[in-house]
Structures are given as C-alpha cells and as structure tokens.
Amino acid sequence: MPRPASSHPTDGELAILTVLWESGPQNLSAICQALPAERGAAPSTVATMLKVMADKGLVVRTGAGHTAQWKAKLTHRSAARNMVGKLVSTLFAGQAERLVTHLVESGQLAGADLAAIQKALRSAGEKS
C-alpha cells in the first residue's frame, strides 16, 4: 500500500525550495544549475518534482514553456515552523524543551548559539 502524500517537503523538495528562497523566482534551467551537484537530478526529474510541489502548494509557476518561472509559495519561516513542530510532536512527545535539551547535550548548541538563545529567552521573558 502506498504511503499517503505528505504536505511536508521531502529532502529533494527542500533543496529546490532553498534555491528559490535564496535566489527568488527561477526557470527550470537555473534551478537545475543551482542545485547541489551531489543531487545529480536531471532537468526532467526536477520538472516532475516542481509539478508535484505545485500540487502540494509549495511552489507556483508563472508563464509557460522554457520561460516559465517557479516561485516558492511556502516561506522558509512557515516550512521551519511546520517541520520543527512535527519533529517535536513525533520525536519529543510534544515537549520542545526535550529538543533543546537534546541539542545542548549532544554538543550541537554551544558558545555563540547558546548566547543567542539566552538573549532570545530574555527578550521573550520581557514581552510576557
């Protein structure tokens, strides 16, 4: 039985979205050139991925043919919020502090990262 379609972007879709977030609207050729070389996706594969992404509401296309431009419809902020929310709910039982604790204990947050988080926490506390 096939798995149900996910509204969350796949790794390949995230690579395309990253190109569009960083560069703005692009045609298929420019997207293919901007993708990391290790992805090695043929233009026909990227075109298919863009069609699927449009069906999922992640991108929009303007124009037709070789001049068509693709633009990210999903913002980076929204993607991050959705994906981190799913991560927290599925892997950390809905407890965001467990995610932060994991990042600190695994050494993925240190130095400047911790200082920035402490500053954000102070700022959030002042707004409360």
Q: Which of 7-11, 20-24, 115-119 has the highest mean pLDDT?
A: 20-24
Q: What pLDDT, on the 0 to 100 scale, is given for residue 38?
A: 67
Can you tell me which residue has the tokens 């991560």? 87
Q: What pLDDT, on the 0 to 100 scale, is given for residue 7?
A: 74
Q: What pLDDT, on the 0 to 100 scale, is given for residue 127?
A: 80
Task: Give the domain-ending residue among 72, 87, 105.
Answer: 72
Q: Are residues 123 and 82 in the same domain?
A: yes
Q: Are residues 15 and 27 in the same domain?
A: yes
Q: Are residues 86 and 65 in the same domain?
A: no
Burial of 19 per CB tally in 10 Å (0-12, 13-18, 19+): buried
Q: What pLDDT, on the 0 to 100 scale, is given for residue 54?
A: 96
- The CATH number linked to 52 is 1.10.10.10
Over residues 46-101, the pLDDT tens digits come to 999 999 999 999 999 999 988 999 999 999 999 999 999 999 999 999 999 999 89
Q: Band the pLDDT of 1: cuts 50, 70, 90.
A: low
Q: Are residues 68 and 107 in the same domain?
A: no
Closest CA to 26 of 70, 64, 76, 75: 70
5 located within any domain = no
Residue 26 sits at the vertex; the CA angle it makes with 8 and 19, to the nearest 5 degrees, is 45
Q: Which of 79-88, 109-118, 119-128 has the highest mean pLDDT?
A: 79-88
Over residues 22-50, the pLDDT tens digits come to 999 999 999 999 998 767 789 999 999 99
* Domain encompassing residue 95: 76-127
2 located within any domain = no
